[in-house]
Structure 1
Amino acid sequence: MYIETVSDPSKKDADVLSQGIIRFNNETVPDLEPPDSEKKFFVFAKSETGKVLGGIRATCFWNTLHIELLWLSEESRGLGIGKKLIEDAERYALQNQCENAFVETTGWQAKPFYERHGYEHMATLNNRPKGHASHYLSKSLVP
């Protein structure tokens, strides 16, 4: 046996890992959502002319909304647009059987924003990125 670290594995080798964890997960939790049920989606805020002013990139998977990123242009901040975006993403997630929401944000990004919208701080990873911190927050989407 030998250990190999690569940044560009063969598709065959990568598939062995993917299929192995899928098989393990299904044996352990037989009614687990299949990986192909993952739903990637975007929520956009656009100007009347169609210019993107901001938005959310997210995924629904394993009954959880994972907010991957939220961004607003400078001129769109502080106008309630972020609130509308997150509400729309959560509504979409509920329609797709998500019961939880999860987000990672850094110290200079949007931790207070998420907390104002019901997200609870779960953990902090200090010095990620170097000299800063990453914060992990979650929220129940069901009453």
Structure 2
Amino acid sequence: MYTLQIDNSVELNRDLRSHVVAYNVQHFDAQRIPLGFKVVDDEELIAGISGHVFGNWLIINWLWCSEAKRSQGLATKLLKTLESAAKESGANVSQLDTLDFQAKPFYEKNGYVVKYQMDTYPLNGTRYFMEKRL
């Protein structure tokens, strides 16, 4: 007999993701190619970007720059480097999401446009989903 149980665990989330990914792999003809670049100063991380190419798409997951090093062009350099590497791997469009208090103006300055936004996210902010042709 089946039972419905509450389970808010990290393990359940991981297991469900694993099952969905295994199912999806059967239907996709593209591999995920991880990409990442970082800037270090004496082994200390001061900025970095990561994502992956999936078919024609560059999916940007994270871009971070130390507050002390902002406005020095590091984020732009990292973004351009990631986009260039993605193009070499076959990507022709890039996608990311950002929050209203994060980097929307930065991404717009670098050619990204809002394709969809979630208002009142999670309560009173906005989450922007942005794309750019590479």
TM over 0.5: yes
Give, in angstroms, the shift of residue 43 of structure 1. Answer: 1.1
Pair 1:76–1:118, CA change in 2 (3 A): same
Aligned residues: 131
- Higher fraction of strand: 2
Matched, 1:54 2:47: yes
Whether 1:40 and 2:38 are equivalent positions in the alignment is: no
Cα RMSD between the aligned structures?
Answer: 2.6
Residue 129 of structure 1: CA displacement?
2.3
Q: Secondary structure at the residue paired with 1:128?
A: coil
CA offset digits 1:108-138 (Å, max 9, x no partner): 0000000000111111101222211100110
User: Quick one: distance in 2 between partners of 1:59 and 1:123?
Assistant: 21
Structure 1 residues without counterparts, runs of 5 or longer: 27-31
Q: Distance in 1 between matches of 2:15 and 2:66?
A: 41
TM-score (norm 2): 0.83
Deviations 1:69-94 (A, max 9, x none): 11111111111111101011001101
Instruction: Within 5 Å, give how 1:5-84 maps onto structure 2.
Output: 7=9, 8-9=11-12, 17-23=20-26, 25-26=27-28, 32-33=29-30, 37-47=31-41, 49-84=42-77
Helix, strand or coil for the counterpart of 2:47?
A: strand
Rounded Cα–Cα distance in structure 2 between residues aligned with 1:12 and 1:84: 37
SS in 1 for 2:101: coil
Residue 124 of structure 1 corresponds to which residue in structure 2?
Answer: 117
Q: Give the unaligned 5+ runs of structure 2.
A: none
Q: What percent of counterpart residues are identical? A: 24
* Residue in 2 that maps onto 1:29: none
Runs of 4+ with >2 A deviation: 2-9, 11-23
